[in-house]
Amino acid sequence: MRKIIHCDCDCFYAAVEVRDNPALAGKPVAVGGRAETRGVIATCSYEARAFGVHSAMSTARALQRCPQLILLPPDFERYRAASRQILAIYRDYTALVEPLSLDEAYLDVSGVDRCKGSATLMAQEIRARIRAEVGITASAGIAPNKFLAKVASDWNKPDGQFVVRPDEVAAFVAALPVKKIFGVGKVTAARLNRLGVHTCGDLRPWTLAALTREFGSFGASLHRLCRGIDEREVKPDRVRKSLSVETTYVTDLPDLAACAAALPALIEEFGRRFGRARDLRPVHKAVVKIKFADFSQTTVECVASAPDTAVWQALLAEGHARRGLPVRLLGVGVRFAEEGRDAAVARQIGLFGETAG
């Protein structure tokens, strides 16, 4: 039986800003881009959340909801410095630390002797050290697997923790809304609700075959997770699956020609990031992301063995044709081959499915 802790700092970027400027304490603070550049909120304090502000919201809308919002530009050097301190604390307890972002990680503390082997006491100690050494607060979830630990870490936010013991798993999961299942977004949740499924308990009578018919390969995940089954290991070295860059434009790009003219600058930025990245797997696919003026979004991809301007141009044309509207955001990127079959395919197949020489 594993003992997994999921640690997640509370309003991380905003918390670092308040730590470094105590005059901001108790005020609605957000970190993000400016409204006039079509910026979005990266994170915000709980005081801002009380007004309905949340991450990924446009800054313009956030300011409408909270005119007194204190908007700060991100300072990633300070955030990375705090992240390094936090990761060092985690690694004092176990080598099995899987970072998910600058402020969030899974820890496998199975068999760890500290705190008499109690994952609950370890989580309390870790959170106390983050408060004392880093100057911000963190929340934690403790459970027998990653899925449940991540759900639990959100249960008593901010600055709290929640434990799901092995004998409590069945009842805890049965009451969970299906939207809490990893991979269930708004569209899938609405679809499940239309089928009369609102909680994981509602989903359990569905057979694996029925879920697969209705949801394809994702049906197997639904079948496992609605029962609280998650056998994924905590992996300290997470493999990068993709690399991309994107830009939101101050003024919508009116047509395909304008989008094509904007593409070289994106590709140049991608090239810089690609050149700095280390230990990358072979490229398997090229990807273009487009967000239109009406906020609808599309992603186009094809098999590719390397970053290629001509491929991205062709994908841009294909994606733009799907709506034909002005464009507010463009992105280009690649997906990397996974171990086994994809790696072999990537070596054998060139651009647009042509056999590589």
Q: Mark the binding-site residues for Mg(2+), compressed into ranges.
A: 8, 103
DSSP 291-315: EETTS-EEEEEEE-SS--HHHHHHH
Alpha-carbon distance 210 to 264, whole Å?
Answer: 47
Tokens 């299942």 label which residue?
181
Centre a 10 Å sphere on the Cβ of residue 25 and count the other Cβ atoms it contains: 11
**Dihedrals phi, psi of 51, to nearest 5 degrees:** -90, 5
Beta-ladder partners of 163: 142
Q: Is residue 125 flagged as an active site residue?
A: no
Q: Which candidate, 48, 90, 46, 45, places its Cα nearest to that of 66?
A: 48
Q: Name residue 99's beta-bridge partners.
A: 105
Catalytic residue among 104, 231, 269, 301: 104
DSSP E strand stretches across 207-326: 242-253, 283-292, 297-303
Grouping H, G, I as helix, E, B as strand and the rest as coil, residue 232 is coil
Indicate which residues carry an active-site annotation: 104
